[in-house]
Amino acid sequence: MTTSPEQPSAAGDDPLLAYRDPAFLDSEAARPIRIISEYLAPLDAFRRECVSDTIVFFGSARIAPEGPMGRYYAEARELARLVTEWSQSLKSPGHRYIVCSGGGPGIMEAANRGARDAGGRTIGLNIGLPHEQRPNPYITPELSFEFHYFFMRKLWFAHLARAMVVFPGGFGTLDETFEMLTLSQTRKLDRSLPVLLYGSSYWKELIQFEALVRHGMIDRSDLDLFVFVDEPREALDVLRQRLGEEKKPPAPAFADSTTPESPVPKPPRGPRR
């Protein structure tokens, strides 16, 4: 039965509010809304949970405790435990330097697990991938996030990070590491960011850093952006030395301008009349 122009439509046919319309929110037109949601939702959660600085752990999702590189799983877990215990000992409001990972398995799981071993909170920034990476069970539920956009996930790694520990990994780990090194090199962060490359033999075999200097691709001073470490206690000592135990600073800002402001030019005068 068709409805004539004179007949009112049924209540169920009333149009949905745009922000409650799933078809619209999943559409190409609403992509900017989905992007901004992956900024605002974590922002709200971190403010609510009083999280303003983290130590980020990067590393392969493929490293298993019983695998050929299983020592790195054990050592990432141990380092995360040590970092969390140190954080809990600091005399400041709340717990500082919360361990943050990409939320998946492997080194990410080891980091979250180590923080949980110490009774601390821990963050997971998971992302949906074709092989269906799932959040590991050691993440604090209130600090577990799911991302669709890689660049929004990277923003949250960078925004709160006070230091970064990079365990052996593949394409994803390299991508995240060089993104952060580039932000430091170009001074797009408003604070220094210590980067610890864990497993010196792996990193020196994988990347010829001296060759980058020799070919003029980076300055020698850029090698000071990172340090090699090989043991959990050594890594903790470096973090404590670089970060110190100062009073809790304000939350970092996004990409503060490093270009001095120039005077606004005055508009040219018109012809006198």
Number of C-alpha atoms within 13 angstroms, CB side, residue 165?
34
Q: Does residue 273 belong to any structural domain of this protein?
A: no
3-state secondary structure 57-94: EECCCCCCCCCCCHHHHHHHHHHHHHHHHHHHHCCCCC
Q: Which two tokens stand for residue 214?
A: 């020799």
Residue 228 belongs to some domain of the structure: yes
Q: Tell me whether residue 24 is exposed, middle or buried, using C-beta atoms within 10 angstroms of its C-beta: 0 to 12, 13 to 18, 19 or more.
A: middle
Using the predicted structure, report yes or no on whether residue 253 has a pLDDT greater than 80.
Answer: no
Whether residue 11 is contained in a domain is answered as: no
Q: Distance (Å, rounded) from C-alpha 78 to C-alpha 82?
A: 6
Residue with tokens 């060089």: 178
pTM of the predicted structure, to 2 decimals: 0.83
Token digits of residue 178: 């060089």
Query: Do the domain assignments include residue 135?
Result: yes
Q: Is 136 within 8 Å of 112 (Cβ atoms)?
A: yes
pLDDT-derived band at 91, boundaries 50, 70, 90: confident
In this structure, is residue 249 part of a structural domain? Answer: no
Cβ burial, residue 73 (10 Å; 0-12/13-18/19+): buried
Q: What is the pLDDT of residue 186?
A: 93
Domain that residue 66 falls in? 53-243
115/108 Cα distance (integer angstroms): 11
The answer to whether residue 205 is domain-embedded is: yes
Residue 268's SS3 state is: coil
> CA dihedral in degrees (78, 164, 83, 227; nearest 10)?
80
Please determine, for residue 259, whether its predicted confidence score (pLDDT) is greater than 60. no
The reported pLDDT for the residue numbered 60 is 96
The total of structural domains in the chain comes to 1
Find, among 206, 204, 177, 205, the residue nearest to 193 by Cα.
Answer: 177
CATH number at 88 reads: 3.40.50.450
Work out whether the CA dihedral 73, 78, 82, 84 comes out positive or negative.
positive
Digit-coded pLDDT (tens) for 173-198: 999 999 999 999 999 888 889 999 99
Question: 58 — phi, psi (to 5°)?
Answer: -110, 155
Does any domain span residue 100? yes
Q: Is residue 10 part of a domain?
A: no
Which tens digit of pLDDT belongs to each residue from 202-236?
999 999 999 999 999 999 999 999 999 999 999 99
Phi first, then psi: give them for residue 149, nearest 5 degrees.
-100, 120
